[in-house]
Chain A
Amino acid sequence: MDRRSFLAGSAAAVAASGFANAQGADEIRIGAPLPLTGPLAPEGRKQKRGYDLWAAEVMKRGGIEVGDKKRPVRIIYSDYQSATPRGVQACEFLANQEKVHFLFSPFGSGAAKAGSAIAERYKIPMLAATASSREVYDQGFKYLFGTFTPNETLTDPIADLVVATAPAVKKVAIFSRNDLLPLSLATALREGVKRHKLDLVFDEKFAIGALDFAAPLTQMRAAAADWIFVGGYINDLIQVRTQMRELGLKPQVLTMIAGPAYEEYIQALKGAAENVSSASWWHPAVRYEGEDIFGSTQNYVEAFKAAFNGDIPDYAEASASAVGAILQLALKKSGTTDGPAVRDALAAMNAKTFWGPVHFGPTGQIDSLNPPVFQIQNGKTVVLLPDEIKQGEFKLGIS
């Protein structure tokens, strides 16, 4: 290489790096710590698909409108391998090293609660796509906003439905992963059991990472529970359901949260998934018109199918897209990426979106949704509640 071409090359490199820096300075950086490997990887990857879809839609439209210009968005992922302490480290790294403008929270209530302290410290608005437990939001934090309603909005309608349609159901067993969301679900259901004067015959926790459930399932069988409620994540729930079958445990009603909403649950269990009931914060059958980037639930479902080989989005994927869309609305409203200003826009939000009406309560938790109850019938999720989107009747018994 002669001196002239070396100088020309160097000049081009400097110019290119300047261009890249200008691009970098303009872009909106969002940190997303996720469990992309480990036991929670199925859930983590769902969130990633939801975020990616939103970011792709944004970029298709030339960026996010902030003030008088459109700015590109970049999501910076950090895999915390399903270990909550590493999730907190990932939040710290994203805030401190990557200098992100905003954070999407780690997966689930426990990790979101742990990570939210970092967002609060750095005054970075954090949007939680998969955290429902009140304990996440009652910390007095100002920068945390979540798209899941409290857990009793899932358990109360199910309890009401079971009591109304299966009067023979009297004995209830609750079995929960020793983790924030499942424990919180159990607490909410316990209230429902008490309210309906049902008999709680089994109420136990299992350790995170437990693989063998034979002993507690034997107890449930001995207690002759009519309704078994299991709280956990998809791998736990698949394992519990498999071992229930091995031990011949067949309650009249089996409710599991939060796995049956996922297609992977149905695929892994095949026939054993039949008649398992559940509830989630969203379902593709809901019909909302929105002012967000997707415009309506139907548009969102179509965009998702187009992006992911015809897959139907579930609530975790939709919620992940929703937090992006909600952040986008807040940025448009505030006209700046300044953390406190965007935080104020989120706190004052009262918007219609494909996810449903969005209004955050004083703790930052959404208080404007009516979550659907559903059951797996013939290998598909069938909505049972609310009545306006009902697709079928509640069926008793499992195989």
Chain B
Amino acid sequence: MNSAILAQVLVNGLLLGGLYAAIAAGFSLVWGVLNVVNMLHGSAVVLGAYAAFFGWQLGINPFLAALAIGPAIGLLGWVVQRFIVQRVIAAPVLITLVLTFALDLVLNNAMLAAFTADYRKMGSVTGLPPLMIGTVSIPADRLIAAVLGIVATFLVHLYLTRSRLGRAIVAVRMDQETARLMGVKVEHIYALTFGIGLALAGVAGCLIGAVFPISPLNSGGYLGVAFVACVLGGLGSVVGAIVGGLVLGVVESLGSMLIGAEYGVTVAAVLLILMLLWRPQGLLGRAGYD
């Protein structure tokens, strides 16, 4: 493989990874803070993509629409956590997993009924030609989507590290009981975190919808991406999700090149297993979090 191909493959992987980071960050946050494996996440991504698609049909740029769609799906997440998930929050992780799986079935089938399983596709959002750097081609829409994905994720990281509520979320993640003793309203933090997680999923959906076809059938794939990137980066670590997403994107891209295009998902699965064996806490996560 010569350097020009390698450069193109790396760019392809990073562009994909930026989107993966946005998908994974919310999932990782919810898992890390609430200890809930949110099976609803993939469908929330698809819901965001549909909202962006319908907005695009009305002439609204999906990248701008993310500013409204993210908070709207975040609000939905807040309601779901506050009134449904919260009821079993103290139960073993399997119970919350089954609950969110059931919620996912409801949302996914509602989307199938409302939108059908047909692929919908936006045209070129920016209408700009690919950016050429030497022989490396960088599609404009993909570049913007990937950069915005990382920016959105990084903004959540800033919120967690710089704001009072963000510190409360981190405190709950580190030690729920102590956080409660310090006056943190843990139930409120849970709902807020779940909301932020789904808001990120909604934003990721807007970005993905601008690049790839949209269908409820894609939700499982997005959930898989979130899972692998989250394990790679480390549970609960938003920066870890960025790293995990980018690593997954590059590994998939390289694997697809070196092993074969149909083995992209297999490469991701092998990477997941190796990571769990070698470094279960992830690249940036904390060991032994349960």
Contact = CB atoms under 8 A, between A and B. Distances in A.
Q: A and B, one complex?
A: yes
Interface of A: 37-39, 41-42, 81-82, 175, 178, 204-207, 209-216, 218-219, 221-222, 235, 238-239, 243, 246-248, 268
Contact of B212 (A81, A212, A216, A246): A212
Contacts of B121: 238-239, 268
Nearest to A239: B213
Interface string B248-263: 0000111011001110
Nearest to B253: A215
B213 A218 contact: no
Interface stretch (B90-98, B110-118, B155-163): B110-118
A211 B213 contact: yes
Contacts of A248: 130, 132, 137
B283 interface: no
Question: Which are the 9 A-B pairs with shortest beta-carbon distances?
Answer: A215-B256, A246-B139, A214-B12, A38-B117, A216-B261, A37-B117, A37-B116, A211-B212, A205-B262
Contacts of A221: 8
A313 B265 CA distance: 38
Contact of B260 (A204, A239, A268): A204
A38 B215 contact: yes
B5 interface: yes
Contacts of A243: 139
Interface string B146-174: 00000000000000000000000000000
B261 A39 contact: no
B55 interface: no
A219 B132 contact: no
Given A82-B217, A216-B257, A248-B130, 20 more contacts: A37-B117, A38-B116, A38-B117, A41-B117, A41-B118, A81-B112, A206-B261, A207-B262, A207-B265, A209-B218, A212-B264, A215-B253, A215-B264, A218-B12, A238-B121, A239-B121, A243-B139, A246-B130, A248-B137, A268-B121
B218 A211 contact: yes
Report whether over half of chain A's contact residues are helix, strand or loop; otherwise say mixed.
Answer: mixed
A204 B263 CA distance: 11
A37 B12 contact: no
25 contacts: A38-B116, A38-B118, A38-B217, A39-B117, A41-B117, A42-B118, A204-B260, A205-B260, A206-B261, A206-B262, A207-B261, A209-B217, A210-B264, A212-B16, A213-B261, A214-B16, A215-B12, A215-B257, A216-B257, A216-B261, A218-B5, A235-B213, A247-B8, A247-B137, A248-B130
B64 interface: no
Nearest to A235: B119
A218 B262 contact: no
B9 interface: yes
A246 B262 contact: no
B4 interface: yes
Report whether over half of chain B's contact residues are helix, strand or loop; otherwise say mixed.
Answer: helix
A204 B261 CA distance: 7
B41 interface: no
Contacts of B116: 37-38, 41
B117 A82 contact: yes
Contacts of B12: 212, 214-215, 218
Interface string B1-36: 010110011001101100000000000000000000
A42 B117 CA distance: 11
A218 B257 contact: yes
B130 A205 contact: no
A221 B11 CA distance: 15
Contacts of A246: 130, 137, 139, 142
Given A81-B117, A206-B262, A209-B221, A247 B139 contact: yes
A157 B117 CA distance: 36
B114 to A, nearest CB: 12
A268 B2 CA distance: 35
A210 B261 contact: yes
A268 B116 CA distance: 19
A215 B132 CA distance: 17
Nearest to A243: B139
A204 B262 contact: yes
Nearest to A222: B5
A39 B16 contact: no
B9 to A, nearest CB: 6
Contacts of A210: 261-262, 264
Contacts of A216: 256-257, 261
Contacts of B260: 204-205
A219 B212 contact: no
